[in-house]
């Protein structure tokens, strides 16, 4: 009976060591993923800032529509001047 208790203790000890190794591996994976997330967040912030700068350079969200409208008005006015 004493021999069986020793074996049970050894098995339990081995399982505990295995569980501890698994916990350490999981912690390492979590830390790696957290670092990747931080890097991705930094990149997102950079790209959002670049988008804002480009929108300001282009004249805002509706710049394309406004430019097309202004060009159409110019063409109409030029045609008016030509045919008058």
**pLDDT in the model for residue 3:** 67
For the chain, what are the domain ranges? 2-83
Per-residue pLDDT tens for 5-30?
A: 666 777 667 788 888 999 999 999 99
Report in angstroms the alpha-carbon separations of 33 from 37, 40, 65. 6, 10, 43
34 close to 27: Cβ distance less than 8 angstroms: no
Choose between 4 and 19: higher pLDDT. Answer: 19
Tokens at 24, concatenated: 């350490």
Question: 24-70 pLDDT, tens per residue?
Answer: 999 999 999 999 999 999 999 999 999 888 877 777 667 777 888 88
User: Against a cut of 0.85, is the pTM above it?
Assistant: no
Alpha-carbon distance 51 to 58, whole Å?
10
């Amino acid at each position: 009976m004493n021999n069986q208790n020793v074996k049970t203790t050894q098995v339990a000890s081995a399982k505990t060591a295995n569980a501890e190794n698994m916990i350490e591996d999981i912690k390492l994976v979590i830390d790696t993923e957290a670092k990747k997330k931080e890097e991705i967040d930094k990149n997102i912030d950079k790209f959002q800032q670049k988008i804002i700068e480009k929108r300001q350079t282009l004249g805002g969200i509706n710049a394309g529509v406004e430019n097309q409208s202004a060009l159409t008005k110019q063409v109409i006015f030029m045609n008016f001047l030509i045919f008058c």
